[in-house]
Amino acid sequence: MNLSRRTFLGSSAALSAASLAGSLTGRAMAASDTVAIASLHDLTGALDIYGVPSNLCMKVAVDEINAAGGLLGKKIDLKVYDCQSDIKKYPQYAQAAVLNDRCVMVQGALSGAAREATRPVLRRYKIPFVYGSFYEGGLCEKNTFCVNTGGNQQVVPLLEWSFKKLGKKLYYIASDYNAPRNFGIWNHVVGKREGGEVLAEDYYPLDVTDFTAAIAKIQAAKPDIVHSCLVGGPAMSFYRQWAAAGMLKKIPIISIVFAAGNEHEVLTPDETDGITVAYNYFQELDTPKNKEFLSRVEAVAGKNHPYINGEVFGGYSGVMLWAEAVKRAGSFERDAVLAAFESGIRWDGPAGVMTTDGPTHNTSQDVHIVTVKNRVWSLIEKKEQIPPDTYGGKCNVFTNPNQTDFLMPQI
């Protein structure tokens, strides 16, 4: 094989960076009674409503591990980076976590843009990246493990339930960026399978606050269901205006993003009652393990801690699953930990059993369809142990170890 000088130098630089990172972290671990992991979250700025509780959940997990004696004789040192809702900070801080703080694992970068800015850096330095946010699915990369729900585990069960219980005609309103558009593909996939129909797809910029025209279009279309994938603070105006137009009790709303920013606590019950969502975790789960978890959250953040929803719960489950992989590997080294992840780590936590899936580098888990009333979520239906989507066998890091691109569902 012929290599150009540029290709050779680029490959050599990548190998040198990975070798340097590996040697630095190895020496740091050998010489210390602690081992560092990094939290890359937005603790300030527009996305802090997701970042602050996600970072809190990571801290709860680290405190729990350390209280039990740590890992392999070492206490976990959580290095916290505030990415300030600025995409440019993510690759900068990911590199700092590796080279300055000698972190052996990095978690966070919740938004799709943040994730895509972070992945290449950690792949270059061969430091495992744990992704804790729910997402559209289809991320199959050797160096990344996804511990929250993918599209087939969250949006598919919600759509299946909705087409069976609420009606066949669906209207999709969403924020205008990649993830909501990708989630929108699932409307067609499930609709086709369940005999449903997508009447329209309507996308709006993140800063829009006047949804008068949008509501008029929905009223004219006369759907049985409104599927909302509106994200961020300005989007709360839609729910206020929808209720003010007298529509809340006329056409049901389903969503996979509502309450990820704790909108149900900001808006009034008159503006939200009856909205139905699907998450792997919600704070009202009535199980002994969840009660123990919430007591730990309260010990760290007090009784008035932020509501812990399915989006931010990944901060806790990610650290705990990584810790189980370290125990099985008997090592903090990247290849050993990834091999342990791939062997199928089964962890019984506050959301139920979660099991890592080797070929997809995603996770099998329970999903709960829940509805809100008076700011409290109640269970409608539980879907047990939904496996990650293999995308027809294309999502397989064993047969495609160099794959880094996203896979999409086919309509």
Q: Which domains does the chain have, with CATH numbers?
A: 34-149+284-358 (3.40.50.2300), 161-279 (3.40.50.2300)
- Comparing CA positions, the residue from 410, 335, 408 lying closest to residue 140 is 408
Strand partners, 80: 39
Q: Read off the pTM.
A: 0.90
Q: What is the pLDDT of residues 133-170, one digit of tens each?
A: 999 999 999 999 999 999 999 999 999 999 999 999 99
Give the C-alpha separation, 304 to 406, whole Å: 39
Pair 277, 263: CB distance under 8 Å: no
The total number of residues written for the chain in this structure:
411
35: part of which helix (H) or strand (E)? strand 34-41
Q: What is the pLDDT of residues 63-105, one digit of tens each?
A: 999 999 999 999 999 999 999 999 999 999 999 999 999 999 9
Residue 113, C-beta contacts closer than 8 angstroms, at least 6 positions apart: 87, 177
364: part of which helix (H) or strand (E)? strand 362-373
Confidence of residue 32 (pLDDT cuts 50, 70, 90): confident
Q: What is the pLDDT of residues 207-216, one digit of tens each?
A: 999 999 999 9
Residue 349, C-beta contacts closer than 8 angstroms, at least 6 positions apart: 289, 293, 316, 317, 320
Strand partners, 47: none
Indicate the pairing of strand 225-229 with strand 276-279. Answer: unpaired
Which two tokens mark 275?
């909205």
Pair 358, 344: CB distance under 8 Å: yes
